[in-house]
């Protein structure tokens, strides 16, 4: 059975970690399956993606048993080559960064445990919706390592430096409400998957070009200077104003109907 299931319905891609018997722990096969899933979504007509985990939790982290295969190997040769993301990431980093880099919004529906690798995969999403009893942890320090799946890029964009340090140094799980206060979780819902799909349907009904442009501009704002962002903002708006999709949004508003995008 595939480690990751991808289904596409009404322009919404559902990507489900599918190793419930191991609490969706990430092993080498799942690394490959997650990257392949991201590539499938990128090549599809999806306008929104939803990430979730089968069974009792989203993802319990790395499959520690699979690390035994690294004993005696050249670790630098395994980790340092940047073989993915057009030469920006290694395989481990790509499983989180591929969702961050995806042109469409990504919503993570979280429940149960969201530890280590699972936390970093969730950080790759634009929005995280968690069940009230979800437990989240940047778990790597428990095993004597550091976050190495994009966490050092993604965490600083969400939480204060002191919060990030506490999360990394202690590896202590925190409940969903605390994660929400600290910025790790966007919102809490009794049924996070249902809430994620409700939001996904709403976003799928927006102008696809405008949504993609907004995500690209937000990414630009996170890394560029104010001057560069202002220029990108103006150029982006110029590419949208008066175009067919924008005219359809206006026409649908006045006709009191849902817009139809070709």
- What topology does CATH give the domain 4-204? 2-enoyl-CoA Hydratase; Chain A, domain 1 (3.90.226)
Domain with CATH 3.90.226.10 in the chain: 4-204
Q: How far apart are CA 159 and CA 173, in angstroms?
A: 16
| CB 11, CB 39: distance < 8 Å | no
What's the whole-number average pLDDT of the chain?
94
| pLDDT value, residue 72 | 57
Specify the DSSP element, H or E, that contains 209.
helix 208-223
Domain with CATH 1.10.12 in the chain: 208-255
Residue linked to tokens 């508003």 = 253
Region 226-231 average pLDDT: 96
| pLDDT value, residue 73 | 66
Q: 177 phi and psi, to 5 degrees?
A: -65, -35
What pLDDT digit, counting tens, does each position of 10-28 carry?
A: 999 999 999 999 999 999 9
CATH classification (class only), 208-255: mainly alpha
What pLDDT digit, counting tens, does each position of 156-179 carry?
A: 999 999 999 999 999 999 999 999
Sheet order of strands, 127-130 included: 4-9, 12-17, 48-53, 106-110, 127-130, 187-188
Instruction: Give the number of other CB atoms < 10 A from CB of residue 230.
Output: 12
Q: 143 CB contacts (<8 Å, ≥6 apart)?
A: 62, 64
**Residue 162, exposed/middle/buried by CB under 10 A (0-12, 13-18, 19+)?**
exposed
Residues of the chain with pLDDT > 70, as a percent, come to: 97
| pLDDT value, residue 131 | 98
């Amino acid at each position: 059975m595939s480690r990751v299931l991808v289904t596409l319905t009404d322009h919404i891609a559902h990507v489900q970690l599918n190793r419930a018997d191991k609490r969706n722990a990430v092993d080498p096969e799942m690394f490959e399956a997650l990257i392949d899933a991201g590539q499938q979504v990128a090549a599809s007509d999806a306008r929104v993606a939803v990430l979730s985990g089968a069974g009792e939790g989203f993802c319990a982290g790395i499959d520690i048993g699979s690390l035994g295969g690294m004993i005696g190997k050249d670790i630098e040769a395994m980790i340092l080559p940047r073989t993915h993301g057009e030469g920006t990431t290694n395989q481990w980093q790509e499983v989180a960064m591929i969702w961050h880099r995806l042109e469409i919004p990504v919503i993570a529906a979280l429940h149960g445990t969201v530890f280590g690798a699972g936390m970093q995969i969730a950080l790759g999403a634009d929005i995280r919706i968690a069940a009230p009893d979800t437990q989240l942890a940047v778990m790597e320090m428990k095993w004597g390592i550091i976050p190495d799946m994009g966490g050092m890029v993604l965490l600083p964009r969400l939480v204060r430096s002191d919060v990030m340090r506490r999360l990394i140094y202690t590896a202590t799980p925190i409940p969903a409400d605390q994660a929400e206060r600290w910025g790790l979780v966007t919102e809490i819902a009794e049924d996070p998957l249902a809430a994620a799909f409700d939001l996904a349907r709403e976003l799928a009904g927006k102008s696809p070009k405008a949504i993609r442009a907004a995500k690209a501009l937000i990414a630009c704002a996170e890394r560029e200077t104010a001057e560069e962002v202002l220029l990108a903002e103006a150029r982006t708006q110029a590419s949208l104003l008066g175009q067919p999709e924008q005219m359809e949004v206006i026409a649908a508003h006045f006709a009191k109907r849902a817009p139809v995008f070709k």
